[in-house]
Structure 1
Amino acid sequence: MAHKAIYALMVAGLATSGNANAFSGNDLIKWLPEYEQGTSLNSGMYLGYVSGVADIGNNILFCAKSTVTRGQLAAIVGKYLRNNPESWQEEASTLVTAALEKAFPCPEAPAKNK
């Protein structure tokens, strides 16, 4: 639980509510076709953003195996974005995390007996 709180603080530092510079799902969905075609700087923005959030959140909020590629992560996030257009106004980090939590849930920790 402490790891989740630390992660939440880290993400909040990257993209705080009300920050005019915070990226949203609208940015990600705009960059996605360019990433898929590899046609512009925005293709790197998409992959870099997804990779950065994945690096910070892995083994804290979601548990992707080390064999999962950055391309797979990008494809999973892209699928999530396309299936959830009603959420595009949300912060990009929230959407990337939601997609990866859904795809790679962490195993439940065994209950501790006191």
Structure 2
Amino acid sequence: MFKVLAFLAAIPCTGYADTVTGNDLHSACTANGEIKDLQFGYCIGYIGGAFEGIKFGAGAVMFQAMPESSTTEVDQASNAMLGFCIPENVERGQIVDVTMKYLEENPQSRHESARGLLFQALQSAFPC
């Protein structure tokens, strides 16, 4: 029970006006100590969820803009709009790795939104 409470206390708390920063995400992704596994779970969960949210949001817009198009056409248009084209065979762990690498290589930007930094990492690693 203590580990769970310690984990919950260590997770960045985001209110209405707050956002998870690159520093928050970097800390979770590189955590050591007793709650390392829980923090890393937060790390991969955040990155996976943010990635899916970005893709879903772009897809929803494109489905509305292109109602007669196929799913493949909508996905291609979404990729063009987002500025990254991730090959189908890329695994979720690679998305995490790319994001973590970007956070490590850009410490000057880690105070910014983690979601925005994820977006930049994907554009850098998987340009269209």
Structure 1 length normalisation: TM-score? Answer: 0.67
Distance 1:72 1:47 in 2: 11
Are residue 40 (structure 1) and residue 37 (structure 2) matched? Answer: yes
State the 1:34 CA deviation.
3.6
Distance in 2, matches of 1:68 and 1:93, equals 20
The residue aligned with 2:69 is: none
1:1-114 equivalence runs, <5 A = 19-20=17-18, 22-34=19-31, 39-58=36-55, 59=79, 60-61=81-82, 62-106=84-128
Size of the aligned set, in residue pairs, is 88
Cα distance between partner residues in 2 of 1:66 and 1:57: 16
| 5+ residue gaps, structure 2 | 1-13, 56-78
The ranges of structure 1 where at least 4 consecutive aligned residues each deviate by more than 3 angstroms after the TM superposition are none
Per the alignment, in what secondary structure is the counterpart of residue 123 of structure 2?
A: helix
Residue in 2 that maps onto 1:112: none
Distance (whole Å) between structure 1 residues aligned to residue 112 and residue 22 of structure 2: 6
Q: C-alpha root-mean-square deviation of aligned residues, in Å?
A: 2.5
Name the % identity: 36
TM-score, normalised relative to structure 2: 0.60
Q: Distance in 1 between matches of 2:49 and 2:85?
A: 15
